[in-house]
Chains A and B, each alone.
Chain A
Amino acid sequence: MRRSSLPPAARAGAGILGCLALLAAAAPLLAPRDPAEQLDAAESSRRPPLSSLLVVRTVDAEPRLAESVTVERGDLVLARRSGSLRVPLGSVTNYGDDGIEERRRNWLGTDALGRDVLSRLLHGARVSLTIGLLAAALALTAGTVVGACAAIGGRFVDQALMRAVDGLLCFPHLALVLLLAALYRPSTALLVLLIGGTGWMGLARLVRAEILRLREEPFALAAAAAGRSPAGVLVRHLLPNATTPLLVDASLRVGASILVESALSFLGLGVQPPQPSWGSMIADGQSHLTTAWWIAAFPGLMVAAAVLGSSLLADGLSDRLAGLRAGRRAPWAFRTWLGVDAAGSRR
């Protein structure tokens, strides 16, 4: 597909996702601090965005933080939330001519344990995007395999697979996902399996319908007449022509998977601490909502950006698809929270 032919919505979506992926990949370089670092937690906890604290390093103890410092009779007096603290000036190692110059800026504030929200957001992006992409890839693979098997496997295989898909579509996924997440130790692999494994049914239907449609096209008939095996026709001719609708669905699936992951992590059943994830950061912020809104607010915006990016990309792609098939409108893709994608294609 030529890049210039993508509609603006798709380009915006791809741009958002690309930026997020870049931020995630470069998280260790970009993050101002270690996402788990809790330096002087009592003093650094719940600091608002854009605030900063002075770092006072001494020979004998851990570095201490202070809002401001003054010198008083040979001591350095640290103005702290808990009152003032006197440290002998001689033991301070980073006191220079201009006083203490080392500052830690909390760009997006700090959480209740004094950890830097920005650093955690960047590292959390790696977890959330990885799970979203892998789950979507799993769903894409499973859906393509099942759909293709149903389409070319003959009447019996087709019936069996499609009835199974029907059943799974009205299956209460969340109940089972909650149950499994509760019983087994949540890990990235389990989350990918759970989220991807419950999200492929819509894709299977789509692939089957596309292949059944394309199979009757002249190019496919020609390939079959030229002696290519059914599997050969499928792989060389049918699937490549079904790429765009598959991409539309896969793109939606990335966003849906990120939403599911964030909800599971919010409930404490997803990514486990100390690994940061957007959902669990929101959960951390829930109990400090009134005193430190920034802990919960920013990760929610990140989730929204990622999901919006994938929706825009899918929308743009499906508009283009509709254009390609001039006259044949692409089915509106409706999404639900746990992977059902059906309203456009149910029966």
Chain B
Amino acid sequence: MIRFVLRRLLAAAVLFLIVLTLAFAAVALAPGDPLAPSDPRIPPEQAERLRALYGLDQPVPVQYVRWLGAVGLRWDWGQSYRTGQPVADVLFEALPPTLLLAGAALLAQYLLGIGLGLLAAFRPNSWLDLGVRVASLVVYALPTFWVGLMAVLVLAVGLGVAPAGGMTSAAAFELGPAAAALDVLAHLWLPALVLGLSMAGDIARYTRTSVIEFQATEAGRAARARGLSESRILLVHGLAHAAPRLLQLASVSAPLLLSGAVVAEVVFAWPGLGSATLLAIQSRDIPVVLAATAYGAVLVIAASLAADLLLARLDPRIRAE
């Protein structure tokens, strides 16, 4: 098991290095000069000074090694072109909200997906089953950001059951810790639900097939032969049968969730990594964009690593490989 973990960790590190290199190459090869779009009235000597300040006067390979060294040794991503703040600080503030949103969405997606999948599996080929299958296709087809906008329109603006955006109320700083947490929760549930919805369909379909399939296996027939109740067969044994694949689905859905989080953050004005990245892209704040790319990569790689390790824990055949 330890060898397996070490091998996976090494692979993750190599993958991260490749992402960093590709991201750097993309920036280095991109046309245009990061200082060019600024004010043409900046005198040339001033521009030279800025260039030297950001290390842009060096040849590209030197820039690459310096950058990689600073990142690797000190987690130093340089300074934001826009605000002059250290990039690591900017993104460090944005990370917890994104993790909160993505985590809540993951929970919503599994609760919804497994619940609906089991409901459909209880009565295969019934109207309920058909409804769940059709619904899962439809929610996949709806763009997340559009569902978000419509949810804001109907639920927040129309019915007033949720705030229209943001993570906290304007007066949140006056609240005690418990009230503040409730306040965040009130802002969280709608974006998390919207974000979780698109993958919930796939999870429902998967749960349904897997649980139905289980009943035809020897284990399923044995469970029935022992006289277990129908609901116990489906809920306990069927779900256990589906668990490894459902877990695998989590690792596949991590990139999806993260990219969904970017658009969901924009729709719900959620102050996370996605909003920060988009702002940086719009203002061509290259150090922040580079770092945000890397943060996104870290999250995705870590999620798939965690899922792989959990899976290996569940299934000894994978460790032996």
Partners in one complex: yes
List residues of A whose CB falls within 8 A of some B CB.
167, 170-176, 178-184, 255, 259, 262-263, 266-269, 279, 282, 285-286, 289-290, 293, 296-297, 299-300, 303-308, 311-312, 315, 332, 334-338, 340, 342-343, 346-347
Q: Which residues of B contact A255 (CB under 8 A)?
A: 141
Contact B256 A170 (CB under 8 A): no
Candidates B248, B281, B299; contact of A182 at CB < 8 Å? B281
Contact B153 A334 (CB under 8 A): no
Contact A176 B22 (CB under 8 A): yes
Dominant SS among interface residues on chain B: helix
Contact A172 B252 (CB under 8 A): no
Contact A179 B290 (CB under 8 A): yes
Contact A282 B143 (CB under 8 A): yes
Instruction: Give 29 pairs: A residue, B residue, CB < 8 Å, sorted on A.
Output: A170-B255, A172-B293, A174-B255, A174-B258, A175-B23, A175-B293, A175-B297, A181-B281, A182-B281, A182-B284, A183-B27, A263-B143, A266-B143, A266-B266, A267-B263, A267-B266, A269-B281, A282-B149, A285-B149, A289-B149, A297-B150, A300-B146, A308-B137, A308-B141, A332-B206, A334-B206, A335-B202, A338-B255, A343-B245
- Given A167-B18, A182-B284, residue A174 in contact with residue B259 (CB < 8 A): yes
Number of A-B contacts (CB under 8 A): 164
A277 CB to nearest B CB, Å: 12
Q: How far is the CA of A137 from the CA of B248 in the complex (A)?
A: 28
Q: Which residues of B contact A304 (CB under 8 A)?
A: 138, 141-143, 146
B182 CB to nearest A CB, Å: 26
Interface residue total, chain B, C-beta cutoff 8 A: 63
Candidates A184, A306, A340; contact of B252 at CB < 8 Å? A340
Of the candidates B141, B145, B256, the one having the most CB atoms from chain A within 10 angstroms of its own CB is B141
Contact A263 B145 (CB under 8 A): yes
Contact A263 B141 (CB under 8 A): no
Contact A286 B138 (CB under 8 A): no
A273 CB to nearest B CB, Å: 15
Contact B255 A172 (CB under 8 A): yes
B13 CB to nearest A CB, Å: 12
B176 CB to nearest A CB, Å: 33
